[in-house]
Structure 1
Amino acid sequence: MHSTAGIAIAMAVMNVGTYAFQMVSARMLGPSQYGAVAGLMAVLMVLSVVQLGLQATAARRIVADPEDVGAIEESILTATWRASWILGAAAVLAFPLVTWALHLASPVSAILLGLCVVPTTVMGGQAGVLQGERRWLPLSLMYVSVGVPRVVLGTAFLLVRQTEASAMLGVLVASCLPIVIGSLALRERRSVPPENAHDVVVRRDVRREAWGSSLALLAFTALSNLDVVVARNVLGHHDAGLYAGGLIVTKAVLFLPQFAVVILFPSMSDEDQSKKAIVRGLAFLGVLGACSVVAAYLLRDVAEVFIGGANYEGVTDRLWLFAALGALLSILQLLVYGGLARRGVLTKYIVAVGVLALVGLGALTDSLTALAVTVLTIDVTVVGVLLALLLLRRSPVVEHDPEPAQPPAAA
């Protein structure tokens, strides 16, 4: 119980710090420049999907296959560092595309974004190993070190120079602290060659599962972040900034109850408990989301202060829409992790269709409200399909590995 509470508190601190950084950036930069920063952070979230896939795979496999912990951890940590450098290099080289897509004032911001991918990805593998080993203290410290340094260092850099590049430089420097903590916690781990044919199969299976998890989480991350990129292209810079300001409320409603997914994930991996765990999660997130929507409507003037003040009054009356969007995304996140826990193969395709719909239909909108309503409608549809898939099927759809290391522990 104490461990669970500690993780919940640490994740709350992380999310509050992340939210505070967005709030400070919105206030100090104004709608136009903050719209660019919000777009950069959205792209970073999409590029960081490998981090989430590595963490989910490491945690699940270490718990499910304790006799293969050595091979699993070696495979995860090796793949983590390799993936971080490859993905980071690709992101840096793509700076012209990012600069063009987000209409950035300088390519420096896009280059800094690519560099941020390296420490962010490394953190995923490290956190997954610690979570699987149930080493809650260092894992909690990693979570705390994500949010607090970001708001402190990000604010410091913005005080020196109020530009989108300064904000991203603060994010880059702050992103290095979690992997320092993770490296110290895992300093006794070392890369070892496979001891036998079984270890080789285990490593191959872990990499395959990490790849599948990353694809599913990529789809979810794209669905929950690409609307701000669409806004930068279909709305004027001022309205796109207002939309990005509204998304601060969305992210707050999405991320503050994120600990529920961490707590319920093991139960969702057990076929006998999976449906009950999902129902409990849906009930909790549904009630919390409904309260958030009502609060965003009744206290919209107060919410305006937290998203950047009077500069964002153009979106104040519609903040309840963004709260509803965050509530839906929190439910969708639970359902996506429910699919991962049972190694479902359809989840990523369903969410991917939602991403295509967001980009295609979002491009046809011409106002802030129209874009928000379009995204909301798409998310409702995706949530409905996933609910039917996870709750109405009598048995989960699982990936069949041609050479499984051992029978699935809890598919």
Structure 2
Amino acid sequence: MSSRARRALPVAGLSLGLAMGLANLMGYVFVALLSAALGPADFGGFSALNTYGVLLAMPAGAFQIVVARRQTRAHRDADGQVTALTTSAVVGLALAAVTIASAPVIRDLLRLDTAWSVVWLALMVAPMTVTGALQGVLLGREAYRRLSVVYVVTAATRLLAAVCAVGWDFAVAEVFAATFVAAAVTLLVALLLARGDLAPGVRAPRALEVLDDLVRSNVALAGLMALSSLDVVLARTVLTDHDSGSYALAALFGKVVFWGTQFVALTVVPAVADASGGGQVRSTLHRSALAVLAIGSVVALGCALVPGPLVAFSGGPAYTDAEPLLVWAALTGTLWAVIQVWLFAGMSRGDHVMTIVVWAAAGLQSALVLLWFNDSPYEVIATVGGTAAVVALVGLLRVPKGETTPAPGSAETAEALGLTRE
């Protein structure tokens, strides 16, 4: 990368960070509007199904990383963006078909009024997945401004769907229908923004090659999403409709910390990959973890001091039961954010121990809630938070304590995340 590009990169990264921050803010307003419009019982069902949608959207994030890496390899060898886009569409359609076939089961499991809610969610998967691949094209081409527009449009169209839901008194199924329209509009915008970079390369990789890259590069990210997202689904499964809605609202404040500190974890990757030894890695990780803890502590303090106004603004008087849960949700989100730092650092060093730990913890968390600790929202949040604390401690113990040689593949991992500085 030229010196000019190096100087421009921080500015571009700042613009992308600001766009992601604005998108997260609009996402918060999206949830706040729907929580007030739907009420606790329906909002609990919406949140549980929406969390399932987040899990279905993981391939979209995976394709963004995989396609970005392919765009930056060998002087941006355009080795088959079209194939990658086709593969992403096939993956999205396959996930949609499976979800639609499972719609009656999901409806009964989450106690939804109609299976159409699941169908509309399923129809969103294909445009979201293809949009993820298009974001990868823009990221690989370092088109940060256009990528920022896609992030903002994604959030803005969903926010508009929430406004329509409030104005026209939508039910859960109608909300998902509106968000499907939002996903389709976002896809069209992404296609327009990336159309100039969609030149087929001299060698298009086979679909299986792209899928293999997809799986190998993103197992860790999927485990992190499972650990940090399944609690809302578990709460809907084991608690009453009203209690699951209160839990879902409180969980929002944990997600605020988790997503709001993601930029810290991202900056860890190139720093660790470039580190000359274990001492430097240790210092970087400790500073990053402390930054996350500081941000999380501010959010938790606010939740402890003014839970009433926060709940009133986020959901209204129907969610007063959520007030005591807010601080615990914020602390749990802080632990997830610390785990994110440890996990990304491990990926950059070619250390996959935390990947195994995160997946094991997600399974253990689910078993504990489903089988034993499910009598109240407090038992659920205590189980989820306790599991996160154990994983965070394991990650702390994995931080290098002395001078080490960078693990093979660390530079490739950093490149896969689109964060190398070379």
TM-score by length of 2: 0.86
Q: Structure 1 residue aligned with 2:261, among 237, 253, 257?
A: 257
1:1-150 → structure 2 map (5 Å cutoff): 1-63=10-72, 65-67=73-75, 69-71=77-79, 73=81, 76-150=84-158
**2:261 match: secondary structure:** coil
Amino acid at match of 1:123: T
Partner in structure 1 of residue 414 of structure 2: none
- Return the offset for 1:188: 3.2
Does the alignment pair 1:310 with 2:317?
yes
**Residue 24 of structure 1 contacts residue 308 of structure 1 at CA under 8 Å; is this kept in 2?**
yes
Measured after TM superposition, the shift of residue 395 of structure 1 is 5.2
2 CA distance for matches of 1:100 and 1:271? 51
1:181 CA drift (Å): 2.4
TM-superposed CA distance for 1:30, in Å, is 0.9
Aligned mates of 2:38, 2:56 — CA distance in 1: 24
* C-alpha displacement of 1:267: 3.2
Per-residue deviation at 1:260? 3.1
Letter in 1 for 2:254: T
CA contact (8 A) 1:304 1:312 kept: yes
Name the structure 1 match of 2:346.
Answer: 339
Matching residue's letter, 1:133: R
Corresponding residue of 2:381: 372
Stretch deviating more after TM superposition (249-258 or 227-236): 249-258
Take 1:324 and 1:337, find their aligned partners in 2: how far apart are those partners?
A: 20
Distance 2:360 2:251 in 1: 22
Work out the number of aligned pairs and report it. Answer: 397
Amino acid at match of 1:44: G
Partner of 2:295: 288
Residue number among 177, 180, 194 corresponding to 1:172 in the alignment: 180
Task: Give the match's secondary structure for 1:106.
Answer: coil
How big is each residue's C-alpha offset from its partner over 1:233-280, in whole Å with a ceiling of 9 and x where there is no partner?
A: 211111111111111211222222333344444334445476555344
User: Is the 2:57–2:128 contact (alpha carbons within 8 Å) kept by the matching residues of 1?
Assistant: yes
Q: Give yes or no for contact 1:300–1:316 (8 Å, CA) kept in 2.
A: yes
CA distance in 2, matches of 1:95, 1:397: 44
Partner of 2:224: 220
Q: Distance in 2 between matches of 1:205 and 1:270?
A: 29
Residues 278-297 of structure 1 show CA distances to partners (whole Å, capped at 9, x for unaligned) of 34432221110111111110
Task: Give the direction of change, closer, same or farther, for the CA distance of 1:309–1:190 in structure 2 (3 Å limit).
Answer: closer
**Cα contact 1:329–1:379 (8 A) shared by 2:** yes
Long gaps (5+) in structure 1? 401-408
Letter in 2 for 1:19: Y
Distance 1:326 1:72, change over 3 A: farther
Verify the 8 A CA contact 1:7 1:259 in the aligned structure 2.
no
2:355 aligns to what?
A: 348
- Whether the 8 Å contact between 1:344 and 1:396 is mirrored in structure 2 is no
- RMSD after superposition: 2.7
Q: Does 1:328 align with 2:335?
A: yes
Match runs of 1:261-280 below 5 Å: 261-270=265-274, 272=276, 277-280=284-287
> Offset at 1:53?
1.6
Gaps of 5+ in 2: 1-9, 411-419
Q: How high is the TM-score relative to the length of structure 1?
A: 0.88
Distance 1:276 1:57 in 2: 30
Deviation at 1:231, TM superposition (A): 1.0
Match of 2:191 in 1: 183
Aligned to 2:3: none
Aligned pair partner of 1:240 in 224, 239, 244: 244
Aligned pair in 2 of structure 1 residues 263, 129: CA closer, same or farther (>3 Å)?
farther
